[in-house]
Structure 1
């Protein structure tokens, strides 16, 4: 897939304020500081489309971008930011939960995992919750350039083993580096193939 246009549409505090759900939507979520904004900028070839920050937990709203006038890319608030106030964390959690459970045109949720770490319980809990709610999702391992191949292989193997404890079939997994543009083609091809499947089967949203 070639990205020829990527346009910021709006930021929403509540799911009800999101743009009309009349196009396929692909959302990105992960723990704070997992590299979500950098990944979005890399995928769209548009530096600065999603605001990056050295401060974890910067994204606090649901941000919608229209890609190729055809589908939405959605940047969701990160979860698990310890320095956020308890009330803020509860508000983020409710916002994220409402969006994920109620957004009818959400086709796939990309859950970002930091390649540098062994399986973290907060990620595993979130992934298992998605399974319980039957939300379609994929995993994206980020920051591949920040870790040795040996260390990543070990961490990836541990994640796979952990997931197999509760999953009969593992979700689609992507390996990425925003710095080196690793994984860009694979993720965009996945989205393109999914959009073609929707069109072929005449699956439309609000049209």
Structure 2
């Protein structure tokens, strides 16, 4: 993690102002702040996929596919923890509960608490956390075309916008890997008139 309190090396695409200090958040930090542990793990899985290290396994699972491309750029601790669990195909729900992954998520959460963006008990966003997400949404609207997105921009889009961005950035992989659910609509008219649901905030809600 970056200067929200923590430490993996690499670019920091999510810079926001807070209490006179510029906080720079990585996509997996933003995802945890917005949507809880599963959102953060989803971003880590996507990061591995975009770097060629993960692929869809059996329907609804993810597995390792090779060494990450871009050897000069370190993986985040969360992505490292996820990668270690992918020797056998595993679903994202089970993956989120693996001890190593849970520890990595807990480390991210502690950094966000130290930065004043999350309360520890109960796990809720603070006012500063809500302002941070508002600023990030203003600076990173939901993209309309994935062709213009870099990998980092795609990760930030998914961190901020959840399933709609995931369908745009890597929809086929996300469906096959069980990162998003297939929606079957018996009556197409329902699709036209149904309200758009928001991405679940997990245990980190307003």
- When normalised by structure 1's length, the TM-score is 0.31
Indicate the structure with greater strand content. Answer: 1
In terms of fraction of residues, the more helix-rich structure is: 2
